[in-house]
Amino acid sequence: MKRKGRENVYLPLSADVEEVIPLTPETSLFRVRPEAAIEYSPGQFFMVSLWGAGEVPISVASLGGGDGPLELCIRRAGLVTGALHGLEAGDTVWLRGPYGNGFPLDLSRGRDVVVVAGGIGMAPLRPLILWFLENPGAAGRVTLLYGAKRPEEIVFREEMDGWRERGVDVLLTVDTPAKGWEGRTGLVTALWQDVRSDLQKAVAYICGPDVMIRAAMGELFLLGMPEERIITTLEAHMKCGVGKCGHCYAGPRYICTDGPVFSYREIRSHSHFLTG
């Protein structure tokens, strides 16, 4: 979305909700069509709002380009996301963005890629995979390691079958298996040996719960992956998305404007990024 310099950056654009697709009991995919076409890239996010409830940062789950709808994967986690879950087709949401740096896409050119996702952390990584699928020269072998708590909490499961058919190595694991689960059980970080790429030469894109991100980045680093090729996207409390409200500030960086995508190198040099 191009904005003129003088325009109010806090002014949201309305978007029609075309479809709400439940993915898990707590997560739905919202297909929305903004009143004007917006360009965005994988790893960026929008400030999504419902008047009366407030705004929240949501990363894009669709690849963009073309004339498809904008897709937002939203988990019911608080007041605003709870209210958003009350929406159905025909309702209106409001958007500002896209914001943030997005994933460094040229990093993977000529390299194998490992995408590591946990839970709803799949959402920002989905457009990345779609990008690799649509641009065959953009990366070598693509492996997706995806972990969820329970089988019913796996998002985009059917879509993953399609990815598999198109050449992506998809490895799924759950913490707590249910009846009929035939995949793996355990942490996503236990799957390194199943990756058919040379990790030392690959690029990793990671998103998921804080603990998982930390574990995955640390382990990949120990396995010899250079820290500037271990990429993650961070989540934070945000109110503006444009580096003013102060909520997401971590060390000298703002997650909204300097991120949300960071390399392990950047994160390691600033201990403030990951807390807890």
Partner 1 sequence: MRNEWILDKNHLSYWLRQLRKERELVGPLLNGGKDIVFRTVEQIHEIVLDLPASLPSPKEFLLPQYEPMLRLDIPGGEPGVHYRAQPVSPDACVKGSRAGRVYDLAERRRRIVFGVRPCDVSAVRLLDRFFLEGYRDPYYEQRRMNTLMVTIACNNPDPTCFCIGLGTGPYLDGGFDIQLTDLGNRYFVQAASAEGVRTVKATSFLFRRPGKADHDDQYEVILSAKARFRKRISLESPRGMILAGRIKDDFWQRVAARCFECGGCVYECPLCTCFTVTDRRYHGGIERARLWDTCLFKGFTRMAGGVLPNEKRMLRTKRWYYHKLIHYPEVLGGFGCVGCGRCTLTCPGKIDMAAIATAMKGLDLDGATAVVGKGRQVGIGEVMRRPKPEETGAGPEGEG
Using CB under 8 A as the criterion, which residues of the chain lie in contact with partner 1 when the complex forms?
5, 8-12, 14, 16, 50-56, 75, 77-83, 86-87, 90-92, 210, 235-237, 239-240, 242-249, 251-252, 257, 272, 275-276
Instruction: Considering the complex, state which of residue 37 and residue 211 has its C-beta at the smaller distance from partner 1.
Output: 211
Rounded CA-CA distance 106/36 in Å is: 28
Instruction: Annotate the chain with three-state secondary structure.
Output: CCCCCCCCCCCCEEEEEEEEEECCCCEEEEEEEECCCCCCCCCCEEEEEECCCEEEEEEECCCCCCCCCEEEEEECCCHHHHHHCCCCCCCEEEEEEEECCCCCHHHHCCCCEEEEEEHHHHHHHHHHHHHHHHCHHHCCCEEEEEEECCHHHCCCHHHHHHHHHCCCEEEEEECCCCCCCCCEECCHHHHHHHCCCCHHHCEEEEECCHHHHHHHHHHHHHCCCCHHHEEEECCCCCCCCCCCCCCCEECCEECCCCCCEEEHHHHHHCCCCCCC
Instruction: Considering the complex, state which of residue 56 and residue 155 has its C-beta at the smaller distance from partner 1.
Output: 56
Instruction: Considering the complex, state which of residue 115 and residue 240 has its C-beta at the smaller distance from partner 1.
Output: 240
Q: Shortest gap between Cβ of 116 and partner 1 (angstroms)?
A: 20
Instruction: Considering the complex, state which of residue 193 and residue 275 has its C-beta at the smaller distance from partner 1.
Output: 275
Instruction: Considering the complex, state which of residue 109 and residue 244 has its C-beta at the smaller distance from partner 1.
Output: 244
Q: Shortest gap between Cβ of 237 and partner 1 (angstroms)?
A: 5
Instruction: Considering the complex, state which of residue 81 and residue 108 has its C-beta at the smaller distance from partner 1.
Output: 81
Q: Shortest gap between Cβ of 125 and partner 1 (angstroms)?
A: 17
Instruction: Considering the complex, state which of residue 105 and residue 245 has its C-beta at the smaller distance from partner 1.
Output: 245
Q: Shortest gap between Cβ of 119 and partner 1 (angstroms)?
A: 10
Q: Shortest gap between Cβ of 148 and partner 1 (angstroms)?
A: 15
Question: For residue 75, what are the CA distances in angstroms to 50, 58, 78, 122, 215?
Answer: 15, 10, 9, 12, 23
Q: Shortest gap between Cβ of 51 and partner 1 (angstroms)?
A: 5
Rounded CA-CA distance 103/88 in Å is: 31
